[in-house]
Amino acid sequence: MTIRRRGLLALGAGALALPVTGCDRKTQWHEVDISGSLPPLEFSMTDAMTGAQVTAADFRGKVTLLYFGYTLCPDFCPTTLTNLAAALRQLGKQADLVRVLFVTVDPTRDSQPVLKQYAALFAPQIVGLRGTPDELAALARRYRVAYSVTPARDGHPYVVTHSAIVYVFDQDGNARLLVSSMATRKPDIGGTAQDLRTLIAQHNPPDLIERIMRIV
């Protein structure tokens, strides 16, 4: 199993080239503000933890991060998810207001049990999602994500390529940020955590956050 690094990095650069509109000048983001540049979160897939079909509506009320990858990824996926888990730990009890959706681009090999076990390795807020080829293609197309899966044949190895970008949606499902550093050697874990705190605060009054932190 190998990854074409040059192609992967190019995909990430392409995502960063998305037009940026609707920026909130009052907010200083650490990550790239894409407010108004992409459609709201929308999908229908299988939750690997429960086996149930879920949609974006099931995650309303949470700051939701979207990342495409696969469980046999040798470097980018485990690095990204490890760094996101570190950012979630910095949030403390507020991490309960965040979900990370890990969408496999290799559902043929990533069965529900495999994806469930993999997502659980990183953080309880990480949800493994598995879709049909049509569901996966529709979600990737919606957010301009390129990926490919080439089965092994004629002596050539099984090859998967995918973007390394993390999309961040607010509690209403609106696209807000692109996080590009989580797969790099110098991830901005603190900056990402602060951006998540800002999004949480924008949609939750301080007294509600305080009650959640007392309960969790």
What was the pLDDT predicted at 181?
94
Domain boundaries, the chain: 5-215
What was the pLDDT predicted at 21?
41
Tell me if 110 sits within 8 A of 214, measured CB to CB. no
Give the Cα separation of 35 and 121 in Å (integer). Answer: 31
Give the Cα separation of 149 and 1 in Å (integer). Answer: 11
Tell me if 12 sits within 8 A of 180, measured CB to CB. yes
Residue 46 corresponds to which amino acid? T
Q: Give the distance, in angstroms, between the CA of residue 179 and the centroid of all CA atoms in the same chain.
A: 9
Q: Which two tokens stand for residue 46?
A: 């299988």
What was the pLDDT predicted at 24?
46
What was the pLDDT predicted at 156?
87
Other Cβ atoms within 10 Å of 70 Cβ, number = 25
Per CATH, domain 5-215 is 3.40.30.10: yes
Tell me if 139 sits within 8 A of 45, measured CB to CB. yes
Report mean pLDDT in 10-residue bins for the chain, 216 residues: 41 45 65 96 97 98 98 96 98 97 97 98 98 96 95 89 96 97 95 97 68 52
Q: Which two tokens stand for residue 166?
A: 């993390």
Tell me if 68 sits within 8 A of 162, measured CB to CB. yes
H/E segment holding residue 158: none
What was the pLDDT predicted at 11?
45
**Residue that the structure tokens 């301080």 belong to:** 206
Give the Cα separation of 116 and 94 in Å (integer). Answer: 23
